[in-house]
A and B are shown apart, each in its own frame.
Chain A
Amino acid sequence: MSEPTGLSLKGRPLPTFQSMAKQALGNSQLRRNLRKATSTIRDKRARVVGEMPDWEELREAGRALKERALRHLDTYLLELEASVRRAGGQVHWARDAEEANAIIARIVEDHGAREVIKVKSLTTDEIRLNSALAVRGIKAIETDLAELIIQLAGEGSSHILVPAIHKNRAEIREIFRRELKVEELTDEPRDLTAAARAHLRRKFLSTPVAISGVNFAVAETGSVCVVESEGNGRMCVTLPQVLISVMGIEKVLPTWQDMEVFLQLLPRSSTAERMNPYTSLWTGMHEGDGPREFHLVLLDNGRTQVLADTVSRQTLNCIRCSACLNICPVYERTGGHAYSSVYPGPIGAILTPQLLGIKQASTLPYASSLCGACYDVCPVKINIPQILIYLRGRVVRQKRLSHRLRERADPEGMVMRVIARTFAMRSRYEQAQKLAQLGQLPLKRGDFIEWLPGELGNWTIMRDLPAVPKQSFRDWWRERQQARRSGEESEA
Chain B
Amino acid sequence: MSDGTNAREAILGRIREALQDVPASEHPEVVAVERTYLHSGSSERVEVIERFIERVTDYKVKVKRVGVRELPAAIAAACAERGVKRLVAPTDLPPDWAPAQVELLRDDPPLSDAQLDGSDGVLTGCALGIAQTGTIVLDGGSAQGRRVLTLLPDYHLCVINEAQIVELVPEAITRLGDAIRLHHRPLTFVSGPSATSDIELNRVEGVHGPRTLDVLVVS
Q: Say yes or no for A274: interface residue by CB 8 A criterion.
A: yes
Chain A residue numbers with a CB within 8 Å of B189 are 263, 275, 278-281
Chain A residue numbers with a CB within 8 Å of B133 are 267, 274-275
> In chain A, residues 121-170, which have Cβ atoms closer than 8 Å to a Cβ of chain B?
143-146, 149, 162, 164-165, 168-169
Give the complex CA separation of A313 and B140 in angstroms. 39
Does B117 lie within 8 Å of A231, measured CB to CB? no
Give the complex CA separation of A304 and B199 in angstroms. 36
The 8 A CB mask of B193-216 against A (1 = contact, 0 = none) is 111111111101011111000000
> In chain B, residues 1-34, which have Cβ atoms closer than 8 Å to a Cβ of chain A?
4, 7-8, 10-12, 14-19, 21-22, 26, 28-29, 31-34
Does A197 lie within 8 Å of B208, measured CB to CB? yes
Does B37 lie within 8 Å of A282, measured CB to CB? no
A277 in complex: contacting residue of B12, B58, B170, B190, CB < 8 Å: B190
Q: Say yes or no for B132: interface residue by CB 8 A criterion.
A: yes
Give the complex CA separation of A145 and B170 in angstroms. 31
Chain A residue numbers with a CB within 8 Å of B94 are none
Does A254 lie within 8 Å of B28, measured CB to CB? yes
Chain B residue numbers with a CB within 8 Å of A488 are none
Does A99 lie within 8 Å of B7, measured CB to CB? yes
Q: Say yes or no for A22: interface residue by CB 8 A criterion.
A: no
Does A71 lie within 8 Å of B19, measured CB to CB? yes
The 8 A CB mask of A37-75 against B (1 = contact, 0 = none) is 100110000000000011001101100110110011111
Give the complex CA separation of A264 and B80 in angstroms. 37
Give the complex CA separation of A171 and B209 in angstroms. 25
Chain A residue numbers with a CB within 8 Å of B190 are 277-278
Stretch at the interface among B62-70, B71-79, B81-89, B179-187: B179-187
Does A274 lie within 8 Å of B199, measured CB to CB? no
Does B8 lie within 8 Å of A93, measured CB to CB? yes
Q: Say yes or no for A455: interface residue by CB 8 A criterion.
A: no
A271 in complex: contacting residue of B22, B185, B197, B202, CB < 8 Å: B197
Does B11 lie within 8 Å of A281, measured CB to CB? no
Closest to B172 in A: A260
Chain A residue numbers with a CB within 8 Å of B202 are 189
Stretch at the interface among A283-291, A367-375, A397-405: A283-291
Does B201 lie within 8 Å of A41, measured CB to CB? yes
Q: Say yes or no for B191: interface residue by CB 8 A criterion.
A: yes
Closest to B197 in A: A271
B195 in complex: contacting residue of A65, A68, A172, A230, CB < 8 Å: A230
Does B19 lie within 8 Å of A307, measured CB to CB? yes
Q: Say yes or no for B103: interface residue by CB 8 A criterion.
A: no
Chain A residue numbers with a CB within 8 Å of B16 are 74
Does B15 lie within 8 Å of A74, measured CB to CB? yes
Closest to B209 in A: A231
Does A169 lie within 8 Å of B207, measured CB to CB? no
Stretch at the interface among A200-208, A340-348, A376-384: A200-208
Take A165-B201, A286-B186 as given contacts and tell me if A193 and B180 are in contact as well, using a CB distance cutoff of 8 Å.
no
Does A149 lie within 8 Å of B198, measured CB to CB? yes
- Minimum Cβ distance to chain A for residue B174 (Å): 7
Chain B residue numbers with a CB within 8 Å of A214 are none
B192 in complex: contacting residue of A169, A277, A300, CB < 8 Å: A277
Give the complex CA separation of A238 and B32 in angstroms. 37
Take A57-B37, A230-B207, A284-B184 as given contacts and tell me if A260 and B148 are in contact as well, using a CB distance cutoff of 8 Å.
no
Take A87-B184, A234-B147, A234-B208 as given contacts and tell me if A61 and B200 are in contact as well, using a CB distance cutoff of 8 Å.
no
Chain B residue numbers with a CB within 8 Å of A484 are none
A200 in complex: contacting residue of B36, B170, B208, CB < 8 Å: B208
Chain B residue numbers with a CB within 8 Å of A165 are 201
- Minimum Cβ distance to chain B for residue A323 (Å): 14
Closest to A48 in B: B133
- Minimum Cβ distance to chain A for residue B61 (Å): 11
Chain A residue numbers with a CB within 8 Å of B130 are 275
Give the complex CA separation of A260 and B92 in angstroms. 30
Does A64 lie within 8 Å of B110, measured CB to CB? no
B207 in complex: contacting residue of A99, A145, A261, CB < 8 Å: A145
Does A232 lie within 8 Å of B184, measured CB to CB? no
Does B33 lie within 8 Å of A310, measured CB to CB? no
Does B22 lie within 8 Å of A40, measured CB to CB? no
Does B34 lie within 8 Å of A60, measured CB to CB? yes
Closest to B148 in A: A238
B208 in complex: contacting residue of A78, A201, A260, A274, CB < 8 Å: A201
By CB atoms of chain A within 10 A, which of B7, B135, B172 has the most? B7
Give the complex CA separation of A482 and B113 in angstroms. 87
Closest to B32 in A: A64
Give the complex CA separation of A275 and B136 in angstroms. 11
Chain A residue numbers with a CB within 8 Å of B114 are 205
The 8 A CB mask of A235-262 against B (1 = contact, 0 = none) is 1001100000000010000101101110
Does B4 lie within 8 Å of A263, measured CB to CB? no
Q: Say yes or no for A298: interface residue by CB 8 A criterion.
A: yes
Does B38 lie within 8 Å of A54, measured CB to CB? yes
Q: Say yes or no for B173: interface residue by CB 8 A criterion.
A: yes
Does B22 lie within 8 Å of A256, measured CB to CB? no
Closest to A91 in B: B8
Closest to B36 in A: A57
Give the complex CA separation of A189 and B195 in angstroms. 11
Take A36-B200, A278-B209 as given contacts and tell me if A68 and B31 are in contact as well, using a CB distance cutoff of 8 Å.
yes
Q: Say yes or no for B169: interface residue by CB 8 A criterion.
A: yes
Closest to A187 in B: B199
Which are the 4 A-B pairs with shortest beta-carbon distances?
A231-B209, A231-B208, A308-B18, A231-B194
Name A's B-contacting residues (CB within 8 A).
33, 36-37, 40-41, 53-54, 57-58, 60-61, 64-65, 67-68, 71-78, 87, 92-95, 99, 103, 143-146, 149, 162, 164-165, 168-169, 172, 189-190, 192-193, 196-197, 200-201, 204-205, 218, 220-221, 223, 229-232, 234-235, 238-239, 249, 254, 256-257, 259-261, 263-264, 267, 271, 273-284, 286, 288-290, 298, 300, 304-305, 307-308, 310
> Would you give 14 A-B contacts (Cβ < 8 Å), ordered by A?
A61-B33, A68-B29, A71-B22, A189-B200, A218-B180, A220-B181, A223-B180, A230-B209, A261-B37, A274-B132, A277-B192, A278-B194, A279-B189, A304-B15
Besides A37-B201, A300-B11, A308-B19, 19 more A-B contacts (Cβ < 8 Å) are A41-B201, A64-B33, A71-B19, A72-B22, A93-B8, A168-B200, A201-B208, A221-B181, A260-B173, A260-B174, A261-B37, A274-B133, A276-B191, A277-B194, A278-B189, A278-B191, A278-B209, A279-B188, A280-B147
